[in-house]
Amino acid sequence: MTSGLTPLKIITNTNVEPFSHICYQQISRKKIFRSSNYMSTGFLIRRNIILTAGHNIYSNAFSTVSNIKIFPGRYKETYTYDVIEIPGTELCQASIRVHPNYSFTKNNKIDYDFGIIIIPEAILKNTKNWPTAASFELDKLYTLEPGHEIHVAGFPASHGYDGSLMTAQQQACGNVNEKTFSHEFDTQTGNSGSPVWVEINGKRIVVGVHTFAEAATKLTLENIDHITKWINTVPQNS
């Protein structure tokens, strides 16, 4: 299960799984004096639930998520599925969950840097082209170890990238800590929230969420349980 770092590649055919289920995100934040748009990545773990980095959707006293746009399988200005928008501060706040131990100000913020976006069923009912399932799985029985081959894909939005192209890479996993693991992927701003996964017996098992340069937040048993509890509070129609 080991390999060296492969060259970074641009995914031009985003219509195939898992790339069709990886989403470019445009997150609008309302601040005290102005509003800003932030580019990032998320990915479907259910037809109506996107897993992403906590810092992509975290709201504090000085910044509140006010609009979310989701672009599945983006390649330039084409998308595998319909673009979805969650409008307004109230609906956005009702649609996001971030680990309660996550905070921008904590030194260990990477340990809990994940959250989900729940796509409201009322929006999905009015969406004509949308997947009925997800490409990625959570698996409590899988244990990530150094040397295991890991994959990443997402939407860089700096250093010559503008979020319109998906890049992908694979390599042998580096150090594995209790709540994080290291890698040497070529990632930029915008890659935050990208899935890091392994491929075993035809399954794509998510082992982490890319959160910072050369590091990912590990999906520990505790974190998977937390995500599962969130999922179980949301009606699943498929």
| Domain 20-125 class, CATH top level | mainly beta
- Domain 9-14+136-220 grouped into CATH 2.40.10.10: yes
pLDDT of residue 236 exceeding 80:
no
Burial of 17 (0-12, 13-18, 19+ CB in 10 A): middle
The helix (H) or strand (E) run that includes residue 217 is strand 215-218
CB of 127 within 8 A of CB of 102?
no
Whether residue 187 has pLDDT greater than 90: yes
Rounded to 5 degrees, what angle do the CA atoms 154, 160, 163 make? Answer: 35
Confidence of residue 31 (pLDDT cuts 50, 70, 90): confident
Output Rg (C-alpha) for the chain, integer angstroms.
16
Q: Coil, strand, or helix at residue 32?
A: coil
Task: State which amino acid sits at residue 121.
Answer: E
CATH 2.40.10.10 domain span(s) along the chain: 9-14+136-220, 20-125
Q: Would the pLDDT of 197 be above 90?
A: yes
What is the value of pTM for the model shown?
A: 0.95
